[in-house]
A and B are shown apart, each in its own frame.
Chain A
């Protein structure tokens, strides 16, 4: 048989034509070697041949090549260069030979591409010729169908010019009621509304009343498509009488479905319409045997006629039939979908089907399961939230991983919605969170972690139970290997550290936080663990010191002095730490964990575990480890406290003071921050908005956030305990920051000393991360200094370098926190507050701009809607009064109105884009002339 023509002829010849492979041959060669490599080799071979053949002068060769190319590009995704297909296709459109013409049309409609659209005008004339009804022969009819297909192809939709030029040619076909022409008209009108709608709308509307059921069905489908969202259905209201007529007389289910869809869109716009259609819809609903029509009626009733109770009851009855059809999953699925469409007023109906829904949660079909879950979540209210959430959680344990996570995600979202508005029993909820975290396939770690912290911050009363739940999570070594829930463990560690006063056994907690398998945790989580350990040990030591004081007061007068000192300190600090007494009360009842023995045990355990981390590569862990080890170094003294009672008082006092101060830092309450907190910060009176900003333009444009970041970093240095959540971002921005600082030194506060220190310090790990490391090394150097020179303790505690960076701002921002405060991570608070103050000049013009921009828009739409209502009243009024609009006079009166409506719509959109431009202008303007909020252009637009 034939072998592949391998002769690499330079020009296509007759030989090529004679020995050309047909499409069948190509298919066979592709199937000869089904392996991927063999196939792609065959494609490459075929393509090279095709590219040569397609330039052949003979139409037959060209057509066969085009056919092969179409096949390869359509089914084998052959990379057809930009337009080798387009040109021959268009060339062959003119072929008198029908099979060639068909091939060309197929190729053109399948693979024309917007990038080859420049060629499409070449086809315009040919299309025009093929569309014109010259003869009524079968061939010309068929050719015409081909042309309509091309006209409706996606490529033509991207070429509005083509649509405009050929819209005229569609009109005679439309008046004949050809379903093809009607379908093509939809695409043409969508492609170029301004050009095609005035021409085609009227003949298309006439098709609705056509006696030919094929024409009226196609027209109903056409209007269904044209009125689909995102289009505005309002302009189609004048068609209501014709559609109604179709609804009552048509016997075609296809037509009825489309008419119902259009009515479902129109009915909300015109109240009288709903009353008119409710009877025929109910009749169809009860009489039709076609499920497709039934479900469409149900949709229409539930979405468009919710006020008609009898109709809704009928629809619900049908829905229940669907739900009960055990043999057809399609009907069950659609029934569940329909239930989901029920308005909240009928929530009791959904509840009636509770059993079916719960049963559907275990369906093998993931669609049905998902819809059932959706419905279940819709049933949740504050009375049944515990039952449903519990049921779902247990269901998740039995489901496949993907669906289990969908369930858990839905439960978390529902319970967390609107700041836990459904949850009344937080002890239960905290337990549920812990249970969910422990369930097998849980991948919702981030959300659970977030909620654990969030509940801790927001719900004071839940804290004891929260700490208990966190403890059960932390002490379970099996959870540590599961990367999915490490965010949960991170939050649990944070919760235990933050609310340490509720922890019953701190020693056990420290053991849990330092257990060997913590090595499996991600570094960011380890950092949190270490920080939690620091909080625990601080708390324990502080209590130990307090107790020591108390006992010493009674037993020994030696410590009198220190005791007085202590109380003085405490009284000065009472306003910052109101929880102090409470802590004392809680702890004195349990003596064990705060004995010297257990503290020494904890310290040695920490040193053994954390010690190696001092050389960790991860800066966050490194930093925390250094902090902790430095602190422990100081605490070493505590061991001697008891032994040498007559020792150096000042030394002991220093230790106690240190512990107490650390405790002060940690014991301050963190509050959640409202999302709107930033807006509530009013700018200082003497601050002139937008002044001097032009000078800063080049700084701001590079990175608006840097100024605030620098402040934020400095706070963190002295306050690292509470900013742990922010650590990740700070690492990223620190290198940027240092670079920025280098370039714009003048805008920074002097920090010479800090940087010198950093440079002098010998073991900085990574010069690139200088800013972050600087803080780490500062801490380290501080620790070293503290050991060597006790006199500096006080000064290091207040972190003089930090104070230099930001002056008194540190303290005042802390106070501001307490006042404004409403978000979960403190760092956000800090940044929010600081940015609220510093970035106000930047943000406020935008805010004002938004409001001024928004108002005219609203008014604009208001105006247009009133205009629309007028149109409707005219259209519907004239029709519904005469009710049966068979005469064409009415049709004529309706259509100009309709096109008016279209025009109005176009105007509206152009007006809107005008606004947008105006808005952009506004946004730019404040930077140059900020004092005048430009109203003038907006008003002009509005008047348009």
Chain B
């Protein structure tokens, strides 16, 4: 299964964290730091796999992609195929790119919920449920539409800035 998905900036700041195995919250920061140290020490143009036993326990592997200012990291165990996971990272990045039209770090910073929606369309409980980026984009758009329908009932605007900008 997939044990965790992380998006970490090249500054070492987490942009998206999702654990599919229980990790105590007080350990999260340590895990992010461990992964970041591991990745930032690796030169460019080397393999995308790293053994992560030291951080995530025996048998854990890590696949990552370094794109612009972000590391996209999937942590998985022996039940997943390495190259398939690499593909999945690619699918995730492609989907983000489609959803945000040329995704950049700021999109990810400001779209916490949407990011989770996208990820949840792809992975559930550590199992891959959808691998087609098109399908995922479709589902995400559908969800956005449903939410919009539902939120027309809302009387109070979400934030003052929204209110003023109207």
Contact = CB atoms under 8 A, between A and B. Distances in A.
A257 interface: yes
A412 B121 CA distance: 50
Nearest to A155: B22
Nearest to A158: B22
A22 B46 contact: no
Contacts of A60: 154, 156, 158
Nearest to B88: A254
B125 A74 contact: no
Interface string B112-135: 110011001000111111110000
Nearest to B63: A330
B124 A180 contact: yes
Interface string B142-166: 1100110111011010111110100
A257 B81 CA distance: 7
B17 A333 contact: no
Interface stretch (A40-48, A220-228, A838-846): A220-228
A186 B127 CA distance: 9
Contacts of A152: 124-127
A183 B129 contact: yes
Contact of B150 (A98, A157, A180): A98
B138 interface: no
Interface stretch (B47-55, B67-75, B96-104): B47-55
B166 to A, nearest CB: 13
B159 A25 contact: yes
B154 to A, nearest CB: 7
B164 A2 contact: yes
Contacts of A808: none
Nearest to B21: A154
A367 B38 CA distance: 12
Interface in B34-65: 42-43, 45-51
B161 A221 contact: no
Interface in A1-54: 1-2, 17-25, 27, 31
Interface bracket on A:
35 or more
Given A60-B154, A154-B20, A367 B79 contact: no
B82 A334 contact: yes
Contacts of B162: 22
A296 B159 contact: no
B79 A261 contact: yes
Nearest to B147: A99
Contact of B158 (A64, A142, A334): A64
A184 B125 contact: yes
A94 interface: no
B125 A183 contact: yes
Interface string A128-145: 000000000011001001
B161 A218 contact: no
A142 B146 contact: yes
Contacts of B83: 290-292, 295, 330, 334
Chain B's interface: helix, strand, loop or mixed, by majority?
A: mixed
A457 interface: no
Nearest to A97: B150
Nearest to A227: B79
B22 A106 contact: no
B61 to A, nearest CB: 10
Contacts of A158: 22
B43 to A, nearest CB: 6
Given A97-B151, A254-B84, A334-B82, A366 B120 contact: no
B147 A102 contact: yes
Given A179-B130, A368-B47, A138 B146 contact: yes
A762 interface: no
Nearest to B150: A98
A257 B87 CA distance: 13
B36 to A, nearest CB: 14
A58 interface: yes
Interface in A140-194: 142, 145, 148-149, 151-155, 157-158, 179-180, 182-184, 186-187
B94 interface: no
A74 B32 CA distance: 11
A489 B164 CA distance: 77
Interface in A91-108: 97-99, 102-103, 106
A142 B121 CA distance: 11
Contact of A24 (B16, B78, B82, B161): B161
B79 A333 contact: no
Contact of A113 (B20, B25, B156): B25
Contacts of B146: 98, 138-139, 142
A1 B21 contact: no
Contacts of A258: 79
B151 A254 contact: no
A67 B113 contact: yes
A333 B63 CA distance: 13
Contacts of A296: 81
- Central interface residue in B28, B117, B126, by most chain A CB within 10 Å: B126
25 contacts: A2-B161, A22-B162, A27-B112, A60-B154, A67-B113, A75-B17, A77-B29, A98-B151, A99-B151, A103-B113, A113-B24, A142-B143, A154-B19, A155-B22, A180-B129, A187-B125, A228-B1, A290-B83, A295-B81, A329-B45, A329-B46, A330-B48, A365-B42, A367-B46, A368-B47
For the complex of A and B, 6 pairs with smallest distance between CB atoms: A152-B125, A22-B159, A292-B83, A183-B127, A365-B46, A154-B22
